[in-house]
Amino acid sequence: MTSDTATGKESPGTDRSPLVATDNPVPVPPFFGVKRLEQVPLKAILPYINRNTLYKFQWGFKPQGRSVDEYREYSRRELDPILHRLVLESDANKVLQPTALYGYFSCQSDRNALLVYGAPDSNEIVGRFELPRQKTERRLCIADFFRSVESGERDVLGLMLVTIGQHAADYARELFAADEYQNYLYWHGLNAEGAEGLAEFVHKRIRVELGFGNEDAREIDELIKQHYRGSRYSFGYPACPNLADQKQLLALLGAERIGIALSDEDQLHPEQSTSAIVVLHPQAKYFSV
Region 169-178: mean pLDDT is 97
Q: Mean pLDDT of all residues in the chain?
A: 92
Task: Note whether residue 31 is domain-resident.
Answer: yes
Q: Kindly report which listed range (2-6, 128-132, 182-186) carries the lowest average pLDDT score.
A: 2-6
Task: Note whether residue 266 is domain-resident.
Answer: yes
Q: How far apart are CA 147 and CA 156, in angstroms?
A: 9
Task: Note whether residue 176 is domain-resident.
Answer: no
Segment (H or E) for 218: none
Q: Which percentage of the chain shows pLDDT scores above 90?
A: 84
Query: Is 279:230 a contact under the CB 8 Å cutoff?
Result: yes
For residue 200, the tally of other CB atoms under 10 A from its CB is 21
Task: Note whether residue 287 is domain-resident.
Answer: no
- What's the confidence (pLDDT) of residue 212? 86
Q: How far apart are CA 111 and CA 114, in angstroms?
A: 8
- pLDDT single digits (tens) 233-287: 999 999 999 999 999 999 999 999 999 999 999 999 999 999 999 999 999 998 8
Domain count, the chain: 1
CA triplet 60, 64, 69: central angle to 5 degrees?
Answer: 100
Q: How far apart are CA 54 and CA 44, in angstroms?
A: 17
Q: Which domain holds residue 31?
A: 2-46+96-165+194-279
Q: What is the CATH number of the domain that holds 271?
A: 3.10.196.10
- pLDDT single digits (tens) 29-60: 999 999 999 989 999 999 999 999 999 999 99
- pLDDT single digits (tens) 108-142: 999 999 999 999 999 999 999 999 999 988 899 99
Ramachandran angles phi, psi of 74, nearest 5°: -60, -45
Task: Note whether residue 69 is domain-resident.
Answer: no
Instruction: State if pTM tops 0.85.
Output: yes
DSSP state, residue 17 = P
pLDDT-derived band at 11 (thresholds 50, 70, 90) equals low
pLDDT at 5 over 90: no
Any bridge partners for residue 3, and if so which? 10
Task: Note whether residue 66 is domain-resident.
Answer: no
Region 197-217: mean pLDDT is 90
Task: Note whether residue 75 is domain-resident.
Answer: no
From the number of C-beta atoms within 10 Å of its C-beta (0-12, 13-18, 19+), residue 164 rates as buried
Instruction: Say whether 261 sits in a helix, a strand or coil.
Output: strand
CA triplet 121, 212, 24: central angle to 5 degrees?
Answer: 55
3-state helix, strand, coil in the chain (%, to 5): 40, 20, 40
Task: Note whether residue 17 is domain-resident.
Answer: yes
